[in-house]
Amino acid sequence: MTTAVVPGSFDPPTLGHVDVIQRASNAFSTVVVAVLVNPSKTPMFAVEERIAMLERISQDLGNVDVESFEGLMAEFAAARAPSVILKGLRVVSDFEYELQMAQMNRHLKGVETMFVPTSATHAYLSSSLVKEVARFGGRLEGLVPPVVEKALLAKYPQAGEG
């Protein structure tokens, strides 16, 4: 019963993340969404907010847990063995860095990484672009799930007007 660990910053979760989590949930018996706590960065959403949004998004998927982690992803995944790290690939340029990380994680703890191609409809989505759209008042529909749209609107009341 291999666990799929789906790691990320999720600041905030997008519909691309939702797609990967749903597909992980279909393919694996257990899924752990692992939210990075990076002390050297100031995220828009606190880790508790990101966890709450991801729990809401995953609530209808019976086999998904959401946890936070600090430090090495390889350590987190190895502690949940048997496990694989599951990542979405949006575009070819994602692959270079993802390959490096996958090889490093295998080197560190023998943890395998598997990739799923993101659905074409979500290939252009990223958390940073979504934040920029919200900051400048753009429409968030089709980019993020409703719970995230609400959270972004609370931070940027003008979002969704453009």
Residues in touch with ligand PNS (CB under 6 A): 7-9, 36, 72-74, 101, 104-105
CB of 42 to ligand PNS, least distance (A): 14
Which of 17, 23, 50, 87 is flagged as catalytic?
17
Give the residue among 21, 5, 28 at the shortest CA–CA distance from 85.
5
Whose Cβ is closer to ligand PNS: residue 40's or residue 141's?
40
Known catalytic residue at 41: yes
Which of 23, 87, 90, 122 is flagged as catalytic?
90
Backbone φ, ψ for residue 100 (5° rounding):
-60, -45
Whose Cβ is closer to ligand PNS: residue 72's or residue 147's?
72
**Other C-beta atoms lying within 10 Å of the C-beta of residue 110:** 11
Local structure of 4: helix, strand or coil: strand
CB of 15 to ligand PNS, least distance (A): 14
Known catalytic residue at 80: no
CB of 8 to ligand PNS, least distance (A): 3
Known catalytic residue at 127: yes
Give the residue among 79, 48, 49, 60 at the shortest CA–CA distance from 21.
60
Q: Measured between alpha carbons, how far is residue 70 from residues 34, 47, 74, 81, 141 in Å?
A: 10, 11, 11, 18, 32
Which of 23, 87, 127, 131 is flagged as catalytic?
127
CB of 7 to ligand PNS, least distance (A): 4
Strands 30-36 and 64-69: parallel
Known catalytic residue at 126: no
Residues catalogued as catalytic: 17, 41, 90, 127
